[in-house]
Each structure stands twice: as C-alpha cells, then as structure tokens.
C-alpha cells in the first residue's frame, strides 16, 4: 500500500507545494492540505506504518527529516528546526520518537 491509496495525489502535491521553501513546513497546515486531518484513526495508522521507514513502530528524528520524501521522492529534506518542531508536536511522552498514537493526537488537535 502507498500513501496515494489513502490520500489524493493532488492533495499531496498541493501540500508539498505549500512547503517547498526551507523552514516553511507547518505540520498542522501540511496535515490539513494533504487531507490527513480528515482521515479515520485506522487510516492514520496505515499512513503511520508507511511513514515508519524502518518499521520499528516509531518514527524517530532521523526518519522525520525525510518526512516529505515519503510523500514524493523528489521532495526536499526538512530542516533541523522543522524536524525538531514536528517531533516536539507529536512526541507526547518525551522519549524522542513518535508512536502511532502520537501522530493521531497531533493531527486531531
């Protein structure tokens, strides 16, 4: 399964266009434009599974910098500050990684 099985390719493209410039990535805005904020909990878990590159059950900071590239291989890498902002917003227990429930809670804020 791929992200385009869950999210509209045109919504993904629009979300990526919105954050092309370095330090322009806003997690909340990206989730809204891409359509992630409208998905069910089970769909978000599937999206999480796809984004969890090493299938560890967590998305760690190292994986987050390549977050946009999981949506489109030619997308830019997140800057260090964007990566830290995304991690801080979704890491609800402070362990330095995001579990599936963390991404759910962040999207529904």
Binding residues for Ca(2+), as ranges, are 52, 54, 56, 58, 63, 91, 93, 95, 97
Residues 86-108: b if buried by 16+ CB within 10 A, e if exposed? bbebbbeeeeebbbbebbbebbe
Residue 75: closest CA among 51, 104, 99, 93: 51
CA distances, 58 to each of 14, 50, 54, 74, 98 (Å): 26, 11, 9, 24, 5
- Give the separation between CA 96 and CA 84, rounded to whole angstroms: 10
């Amino acid at each position: 399964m791929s992200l385009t099985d869950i999210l509209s390719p045109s919504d993904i493209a629009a979300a990526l266009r919105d954050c092309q410039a370095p330090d322009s990535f806003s997690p909340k805005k990206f989730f809204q434009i891409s359509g992630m904020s409208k998905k069910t909990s089970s769909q978000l878990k599937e999206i999480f599974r796809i984004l969890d590159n090493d299938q560890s059950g967590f998305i760690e900071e190292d994986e987050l910098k390549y977050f946009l590239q999981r949506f489109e291989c030619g997308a830019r890498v997140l800057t260090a500050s964007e990566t830290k902002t995304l991690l801080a917003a979704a890491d609800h227990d402070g362990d330095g990684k995001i579990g599936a429930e963390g991404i759910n809670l962040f999207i529904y804020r």
